A and B are shown apart, each in its own frame.
Chain A
Amino acid sequence: MNATLLRISLAVGLAAGLTACGQEAAKTSAGPKADQKAAAAADNGYVEKTFTSGDQASWNKALKDRAAAQNDYVRAKPL
């Protein structure tokens, strides 16, 4: 009688213990929201006319030209 009771309690304990193994891991967050591409022009009146909104190639070129313009050796011609 005692042995049967022990087996039953063991089986119940094991089943209860293993149910946690089937649970999905708790998710802390869904991560950041999806961002727009930088080439999508800002919705305001301050956008430079050097690129076409949504055109990645023209935006790349516009930003590259602007970065190159920081070179004062090129901007200031030697005397």
Chain B
Amino acid sequence: MAQMKFICDTERCIECNGCVTACKAEHDVPWGVNRRRVVTINDGMAGAEKSISVACMHCSDAPCMAVCPVQCFYKTDEGVVLHDKDVCIGCGYCSYACPFGAPQFPSGAAFGMRGKMDKCTFCAGGPEANGSKAENDKYGRNRLAEGKLPACAEMCSTKALLAGDGDTIADIFRSRVTVRQTNGKAAGAELFGWGTAYGKKPAANQEKRS
């Protein structure tokens, strides 16, 4: 069974925000909510500037699931962490627990009240029927049930953002690191978020094997 994961290759990300735009457009994400965003560090410093596209990493042992007081989260057979908006009470505990800042809350309600939590679904929708209007209205498009990968990764122009079966995308990333090492370039094996979300780094495994 495939286990769905994200990898963002910081050596390739050019901060174009194509992933953010693709996500916003694909799911009609409202103003104030960003399921995915690009974070840049060392801005303007030649050679040291790095960008990374961040969203829900669909952690193996998701802390949001652990802290939710109403158990609105569930994990699919493919390892995608989803939630039921009909159960969510908008308490915000998940946003404090998440190391990636994935849970988002629309703030359009009266008196600044938080709405139901919204986050990246790995383009897998929610508990409503696959591809139904109800699912689309609440969670956005269900691309996995259409045989497609998340829109952000498929739209990435430099293929910095990889999505899909963990073993497959780890192999792709590993081959890139090897090629860069061979060419004497910065290998970029320090994969942000992978260890936090999944407990191990594919590049580290590669080093152990060689």
Q: Within the assembled complex, what's the spacing in Å between the Cα atoms of A75 and B77?
A: 30
B132 pairs with A32, CB closer than 8 A: no
A38 and B130 form a contact (CB under 8 A)? yes
Q: Contact: A48 with B172, CB < 8 Å? A: no
Is A29 a contact of B130 with CB atoms below 8 Å? Answer: no
Interface residues of B in 162-176 (CB under 8 A from A): 162-165, 168-169, 171-172, 175-176
**By the criterion CB–CB under 8 Å, are A60 and B1 in contact?**
yes
| Chain B residue at minimal CB-CB distance from A67 | B164
Name the A residues within 8 Å of B164 (CB-CB). Answer: 63-64, 66-68, 70
Among B76, B87, B159, the residue within 8 A (CB) of A70 is B159
Q: How many contacts A-B (CB < 8 Å)?
A: 124
Min C-beta distance of B5 to chain A, whole Å: 10
How many residues on chain A are close to B (CB under 8 Å)?
A: 35
A residues near B (Cβ < 8 Å) are 28-44, 46-48, 50-51, 56, 59-60, 62-64, 66-68, 70-73
Which B residues are within 8 Å of any A CB, using their own CB? 1-2, 69-74, 76-78, 80, 82-84, 86-87, 124, 126-132, 142, 144-149, 153, 159, 162-165, 168-169, 171-172, 175-176, 179
